[in-house]
Amino acid sequence: MLNSAETSEARGAGFADMRRAGGATHIHTAILLATLLVAAIARFHNITQPLVDAFSWRETSTAMMADNFQQRSWNIFFPEVSWTGPGPSYQGREFQIVSYSAALLYQLFGWHDWFGRLIAALFGMVTVFSLHRLTALCWDEAHAHAAALAYALMPGPAMIDSSFLPDPSMLALVTLGVWLFVKYWAGGKPSLLPLATLSFTLGALAKPPGLAAGAVIVYLMTCWIVMGRRKQAAEVFMAGLLSFAVIAAYFSWAVYLGRSYPPYHVAGSGYIWDSGFWTFFKNSFYLKSVWNTSVWWFYGYPFMALIAIGFWMPPKPGEETGERVLSAVPYVWLAAAAIVYVAAAREITSNPWNYHIFHVPLAMFCGRGALVLATLGARTALTPAVIMRSVFVAVLALALS
């Protein structure tokens, strides 16, 4: 009888634990959905605005290529602008995911200039979700909520994600690819590796700065080698070689195309090998422009303060996640993006949508900083006091930015 009573008690405790776990899952899902709603409001607000904002000249080129796909040729390997006189006016450009998608919508529903913004905003929503799940794997669910909300609210990411540019597709696809790979690395299904490779490759094709996110994959592959898991590392290496071959082949073609047809233009300039190291050095690598863009446009002092706090006070490895290696992922991503900046500082500061590759690690650090402030004196992240503090921090940061 005693054994039966103990068994019943154990079963009851097990069911109670399951109910608590199920309740926590529902809460996390509700918070994620609310965050996605906030992100949607920020990105779809005034979505029908004509292409007359601060990024208008680059948006116009993207729109021209979409028009020419629909009106002249559906060959995605021959992007064409309309500002060079009689055509064809092919140019060496990124793989045209956003403009080609807009052309397909033109064909199906008629021409509307806001279709490009719509597609960019949808890619922005993919970034919010992928960032959330990536942060949950690297840190925990509370940090995932905070990071996704930070990305949803920061002015810079919201503006870029609602512009007719290739950058939203780049960040969405590389973030999705990195998340799928981290999930695979942490013990996920083998089928995640080809999916991660495909998504990351498309993201890097959409815009070359996306290659910076590949540093996370290289880092985790190296960790596998150190751990002695050489077979898995070899599989990742082969997938990476295939991805790099596709990316190199496409951009070799883009350079050839841009040099073979008037106006003989290959997109991108202002690199350190064009201007010389000493030009960059004399201009302090254009860091004054970075500061001005950050303070007065993309973030503001409150978000910058949260980013600094989160960068300086990361979660203790192993405290929120069992994978100590994964806690360094945002630092690896940020370091790789910084290398891209050093190589292309003049291009990035002249065309600030190129900062977009920084926004995943910056959002993670911003979310961490907000959580540090919200949980002062609290043991858990999901108490009413912590939730109210989090809301206050978010509203204050947004209002002052």
- Note whether residue 12 is domain-resident: no
Other C-beta atoms lying within 10 Å of the C-beta of residue 169: 29
Alpha-carbon span 67 to 59, nearest angstrom = 12
237: Cβ–Cβ under 8 A, 6 or more apart, which residues? 221
For the chain, helix, strand, coil in percent to 5 are 75, 0, 25
Alpha-carbon span 54 to 71, nearest angstrom = 27
Q: Which amino acid is at 325?
A: V
Other C-beta atoms lying within 10 Å of the C-beta of residue 51: 18
Per-residue tens of pLDDT for the chain, all 401 residues? 445 545 555 455 454 455 555 567 888 999 999 999 999 999 999 999 999 999 999 999 999 999 999 999 999 999 999 988 777 889 999 999 999 999 999 999 999 999 999 999 999 999 999 999 999 999 999 999 999 999 999 999 999 999 999 999 999 999 999 999 999 999 889 999 999 999 999 999 999 999 999 999 999 999 999 999 999 999 999 999 999 999 999 999 999 999 999 888 898 877 999 889 999 999 999 999 999 999 999 999 999 999 999 999 998 875 444 478 999 999 999 999 999 999 999 999 999 999 999 999 999 999 999 999 888 755 556 566 566 666 666 666 666 66
- Note whether residue 6 is domain-resident: no
Backbone torsions φ then ψ of 247, nearest 5 degrees: -65, -45
Q: Which amino acid is at 385?
A: A
- Note whether residue 284 is domain-resident: yes
- Note whether residue 240 is domain-resident: yes
To which residue do tokens 């007065």 refer? 296
Residue 289's nearest CA partner among 341, 239, 328 is 341
Residue 266, beta-bridge partner list: 92
Alpha-carbon span 221 to 241, nearest angstrom = 13
Query: For residue 342, what are the domain limits?
Result: 31-400
Alpha-carbon span 310 to 236, nearest angstrom = 31
- Note whether residue 11 is domain-resident: no
Report whether the peptide linkage leading into residue 88 is cis, meaning its omega lies within 30 degrees of zero.
yes
Residue 316 per-residue DSSP state: P
- Note whether residue 10 is domain-resident: no
- Note whether residue 24 is domain-resident: no
- Note whether residue 56 is domain-resident: yes
Overall number of domains in the chain:
1
Q: Which amino acid is at 387?
A: I
pTM of the model as a whole: 0.90
8 A C-beta contact, residue 345 and residue 161:
no
